[in-house]
A and B are shown apart, each in its own frame.
Chain A
Amino acid sequence: MLFTPAIIALFAGSLITAGLLVGAAFAGVQILLHWDLRDGSELQVKLERRTYLISTCVAYAFAFELISLFLFIYTADSLHSFFVGAMCAAGSLNANGLGYPTITFRIVNFLLAGLWLIVNYTDNKGYDYPLIRMKYVLLLIIAPLILAETVVQAKYFFGLNPEVITSCCGALFSANANNVAADILAFPPRPLEIAFTGNMLLLLGWGIFSYRTGKGGYFFAVTAFLAFIISIAAFISFISTYIYELPTHHCPFCVLQREYGYIGYPLFLALLGGAQAGLGVGILTPYRDTGSLQGTLPAMQKKLILISLIAFASFTMISLYQMVVSNLKT
């Protein structure tokens, strides 16, 4: 078993985040059951006070999830020397079957927590807390997911056996290995390039349409989420090779290292930001006609559309730039 300070820190961090979110979900149950704005009783006052506590907890949980997402990747990377054949985080994550699921959970929970914060911020602008029910139901969905993430992560770390031989990114991300990443590469880059470009253009076009007319929020959200997925696939498939200047190097984690100018951070932060904002547009759309949000919700959606478009555009620009200045000739 591996026992490094970083693992202990991640574990403690996960426990804390899970504690915050599960606690918040429990506190939210009371609100779901007894909330009544018209009622001036002690209970209602207490519940109103409680909403502040809950949103504080979720805000912190969100921040911790973001930082620990990158900490997790770095920890996996720092462990790579314990596994024969592993050259970076990709190898460590593959050391047992729970590495990649952990990171998937982390990304999902991060996006969900962000969604909650967007909904909460909008809800606070309405004088009758119109989104309160939906908010706390969402929290009840997040709670079990965060518990699952903590358990899976713990199992991953405690199940790490330094003797295990694992594949380094070369073998992992090459077409011969049989796992998800290999399937992406089994895609010849061409169709993925087309999908990537097409989706981005669609996103941009629909985003402008949505921005001006205030319609089509759901479609925008779906397109944004697709852009997120396709971008990751595109990154692994061809964008990475240009950054590494090596046609066989596809690893998405090495790009977070100093030798590549930490370019991975702006790239992935842009993707996460774009996905988050896009999903935010979608989750607010059903409430467009709520009385108390007439003034604020459409403006909020506009802002989110803008953020999403700028984020994905940044990703595209940086990727294109990398591809253009790269020494790789294809």
Chain B
Amino acid sequence: MSHIVNRQRNILDFALSSLLRRKGKNLGLVAVYTLVVFALASVMFFAQALKKEASLVLSATPELIVQKMVAGRHDLIPLSYAEKIKGIRGVGAVEGRLWGYYYDPLVRANYTLLVNDKYALPEKTIAVGAGIARVRNAFRGSTVNFQSYDGKPMLFQVRGVLSQESELLSSDLILISAADFRQLFGFPADYATDLTVQVRNKKEMATVAAKIQQIFPDTRPILRDEIMRTYEAVFDWRAGIIIVVLLGALLAFLIFAWDKAAGLSAEERREIGILKAIGWETSDVLQLKFWEGLTVSLTAFLLGTILAYVHVFLAAAPLFSTVIKGWSILYPNFRLTPFLSAFQITVLFFFTVVPYTVATIIPSWRAATIDPDQAMRT
């Protein structure tokens, strides 16, 4: 056993000294390799972190929402529906939610207006999200002008700006009182935008949703889990698209790697010829090439992953965050929570180290089967 270990250790020793002897060529290879790992790792970390963020964020949303549909479109829901729904077995509280969109022609952005009874806002005061504060130059105590449904101006005083920590959710959010909401939009008194339903037993969710559908065929119950699934699918899908695009770069890298591995200089050929002449066997030289490849791979992989981590979690991924986040006018500034898993690392490994290793199999074999006689005659 120690015989095998010693042999590996000896060959590894020579492999490292071999790599260091040709610093120029190997540093170039490691640099490009690192770049490839960096690009792929950044995409994956970012998508994963967004997914995590989304699921954390969504965990605070209502588990079941009921919307009324008219001609396939979302319509206002009568508050009378709530009574009937309360009567379903397993249902706890049912509340009407008031929310909607306001288009601001000044900045050509859509704001989300929300009524939340927890924040008892006095008349004609609002709280705004950080994104809105930035584009409308709003701050605590300033005034903002909105146009109500009938064209009349409504003046609001800004009570405060929503915290930075919540920016991912609240960047384009405005909190408003119920009365102001109804006045601004001309919203009828006995209607709500949708209903939130509390179900006591999680396992009953699907059943309750089905029952609601039965009683009110003109409604659409939406489960939180469905939303989560959709978000996850979207982020994954977008990450997948970027990766497919990067596959082109990966392929170029593999060709480059093959070329580097196959392009033995006369000096390198001579060296291998000598090794074989003094008693190294083909499998010993193959082992040497294996260790060289592994060293290069691990170095590039480690460097690339660390750099990607810094790029995504410390610098907020400036290079391509636009693509994954989506198109918008109001971009929240937010810090992603670092999230790393062995699963991600393994996937990354399969994208980078595995193809690299395979690309170098044939060049390594060609090097290892060099005929010592001919290599030394040059």
Contacts and interface: CB of A to CB of B under 8 A. Distances in A.
State if A and B touch, Cβ cutoff 8 Å.
yes
Interface of A: 2-10, 12-13, 16, 19-20, 49, 52-53, 56-57, 60, 64, 67-68, 70-71, 74-75, 78, 81-82, 84, 162
B233 A60 contact: no
Contacts of A13: 350, 354
Given A5-B43, A81-B229, A64 B354 contact: yes
A60 B362 CA distance: 12
A19 B359 CA distance: 12
B102 interface: no
B350 A12 contact: yes
Given A4-B240, A53-B361, A10 B350 contact: yes
B237 interface: yes
B237 A3 contact: yes
A53 B206 CA distance: 57
Interface of B is mostly: helix
B354 A82 contact: no
Contacts of A20: 358, 361
Nearest to A10: B350
B319 to A, nearest CB: 17
B343 A2 contact: no
Nearest to B40: A5
Contacts of B368: 52
Nearest to B244: A8
Nearest to B55: A81
B369 A49 contact: yes
B286 A16 contact: no
Given A52-B369, A56-B365, A5 B236 contact: yes
Nearest to B369: A49
B15 interface: no
A13 B349 CA distance: 10
Given A13-B354, A60-B358, A68-B350, 6 more contacts: A9-B351, A52-B368, A60-B361, A64-B354, A70-B346, A84-B206
A5 B347 contact: yes
A64 B358 CA distance: 11
Interface string B325-361: 0000000000000000001001111110011011001
A71 B346 contact: yes
Closest 6 CB pairs of A and B: A3-B240, A4-B236, A9-B350, A49-B369, A9-B347, A53-B365
B17 interface: no
Contact of B362 (A2, A16, A53, A70): A53
A7 B347 CA distance: 9
Contact of A60 (B240, B346, B347, B357): B357
The interface centre, meaning the residue of A2, A52, A57, A82 with most chain B CB atoms within 10 A of its CB, is: A52
Given A52-B365, A57-B361, A60-B361, A2 B236 contact: yes
